[in-house]
Structure 1
Amino acid sequence: MMSKRGITLRRCKQSQGRRRRLLYLLMTRPRAASERFVAQLPTRIRSRVQVIYSPILEIRPLSVQVDTAGVRGLIFTSANAVNAAASLDVARDLPAFCVGPVTTGTAKGAGWNAQMVGATAEELVAFLLKDRPDSPLLHLRGEYSRGNIAERLTESGLTTREQPVYQQHLLPLTSEATVAAGGETPIIAPLFSPRTARHFADIWVGSAPLWLAAISDATAESLYSMDYVRLKITKAPTPKKMRKAVKKLVKHAMRVEGDEATD
């Protein structure tokens, strides 16, 4: 039978272990996208973090008319564009060329004959220039967009125009995230675009150890001026690679915190 002193020591060690295992995972994407990302993390990783949802970007559909007269196909590079297009009742009888499985699945669910033609915008451009579908094409996107997809395709002989169908409104950190930022618990923050990374760097004020993951070199550029423990850049700008980066950061942060059990 264990003595009272032994029970006390055991409880103390268990308590210390729980404290060591506590990390915050700060998700700054819109809530639905953040929840989807977290749900796809390995169960073991999810058990090691407490998720704080603090969207610093809000998607707002634009009240615009989308003219598809003469258009032979649509380009979607985000699920946000698909949802905005659906709310604007854009014609469903056009083929849709999409980036990534989430965008493609969203487009199919909304009624388009959608085809995934790459995991990134670069892969989409390469596919379309090689496959040469009927044109002109129409790229429906957000007000802020990178990659110059329509311009590059048009310059290469595949006529494409573009139209913003939603806006990305910047938001401050939530009160929960602000409190965590001022504490001592390590925070892992994945950033998914150059614009949100710039905004995050501008609004971040805190003393908590910060572990950052950037989905691209361009996203990382705004983060170098921050006071962080580690910054990891994904090898490719995909959700899969970002999940891998977060997984590695969790493991490294746990080691720093003294818990080797995650290896």
Structure 2
Amino acid sequence: MHMARQSDPSRRPELGIPVLVTRPRAQANGFVRKLTARFGPRVRPFVSPLMAPQFLSPPLPDGPFSGVIFTSARAVEAAVRLRADLPRRAYCVGRATAAAAAAAGFDAQSADGDVSDLAAGLLSRPESGRLLYLRGVDTAGDLENYLIKNNIAVQSLQVYLQAALPLEGESRALLRRPGGVILPLFSPRSALIFGKAMPADARASLGIAAMSAAVATAASAIPRSALVIAAKPDADAMLDAVESLLAAASLP
């Protein structure tokens, strides 16, 4: 008797191309909402966070400080959890971080870019006074030493860490099957974690959307069929990168 072959539901064209989102859970859910709002049935999101935040409670160094530096919304959340008397002026890497800082009650200024843009803005700021850099345990670059070498008084404080997580079973199964999968990567660390977590027998054809050149470099060991670097390090530019991958002929 002839048995009809059942197709893999994750590969059916009418369900859209799978997009594997590996951001921490809250950020992943927010990006999925943006994906579905922009692309609708053209994409099918899968969520498998590769990191989960753990907040620390270090003693605050002696002040005074004229402002705080935030390079992530997670650092803002950690600052709120400290319940400390922090300066209201906040220098932020980008719009999302600045929005989180403003919502937390800070007078937030955005560099509208990456850490290098933030550093340039701090070097040219008219205000003086020592700065407090609230950061994660693992961060890209060395903003503190760069500022110190350029005569900016700054002290960093580690207020959270991102614990690595394994890929969830559904996502591992997705990667083991042939077919196109779009993989947005938002940080060098997430790229490195994914490279280690990817199944050795993966058969998926990956199209990587990298948030920056640094992320693309960190993802260099991940086998892929296409790579697009976002024009700016923000969610809207990442959506544009996903759009390019959706249209790429090299992505099945």
TM class, shorter-length:
0.7 to 0.9
Aligned mates of 2:99, 2:84 — CA distance in 1:
17
Count of residue pairs brought into register by the alignment: 241
Q: Which residue of 1 aligns with 2:146?
A: 152
Partner of 1:178: 172
The alpha-carbon distance between structure 1 residues 63 and 155, as it changes in their structure 2 partners (threshold 3 A), is same
TM-score, normalising length: structure 1: 0.84
| Aligned match of 1:10 | none
Q: Residues 31 and 46 (structure 1 numbering): CA distance in 2 closer, same or farther, change over 3 Å?
A: farther
Gaps of 5+ in 1: 1-14, 258-263
Looking at structure 2, the residues matched to 56 and 102 of structure 1 have their Cα atoms a distance apart, in angstroms, of 20
Structure 2: gaps (5+ residues): 1-8
The answer as to 2:219 corresponding to 1:219 is: no
State the alpha-carbon separation in 2 of the partners of residues 208 and 186 from structure 1: 6
Alignment pair present for 1:126 and 2:120: yes
Instruction: Tell me which protein shows more helix as a share of its residues.
Output: 1
Residues 252 and 84 (structure 1), Cα distance of their counterparts in 2 relative to 1, 3 Å cut: same
Residue matched to 1:240: 236
Report the AA paired with residue 223 of structure 2.
Answer: D
Structure of larger gyration radius = 1
Per the alignment, residue 78 of structure 1 pairs with 72
Residue 162 of structure 1: which of 146, 156, 159 is its match?
156
TM normalised by structure 2 equals: 0.87
User: Residue by residue, what CA displacement relative to the aligned partner does 1:130-166 show, whole Å, maximum 9, x if unpaired?
Assistant: 1142220011010011232121112212111111100
RMSD (Å) for aligned C-alpha atoms: 2.2
Matches within 5 A, 1:246-257: 246-252=242-248, 257=252
Identify if the C-alpha distance between structure 1 residues 85 and 213 changes in structure 2 by more than 3 Å, giving closer, same or farther.
same
Aligned pairs (5 A) from 1:13-162 = 19=13, 22-41=16-35, 43-67=37-61, 69-162=63-156
Instruction: Report how far residue 177 of structure 1 moved.
Output: 0.4
The SS at the match of 1:63 is: coil
8 Å contact from structure 1 (residues 215, 234) kept in 2:
yes
Q: Deviations over 1:71-129 (max 9, x none)?
A: 11100110000001100113244311112121111111112222223322111111111
Q: Give the equivalent residue in structure 2 for 1:11.
A: none
Contact 1:197–1:222, Cα closer than 8 Å, also in 2:
yes
- The one of 186, 200, 203 equivalent to 1:192 is 186
CA distance in 2, matches of 1:256, 1:134: 51
After superposing on structure 2, the runs of 4+ consecutive aligned residues of structure 1 that deviate more than 3 Å are 41-44
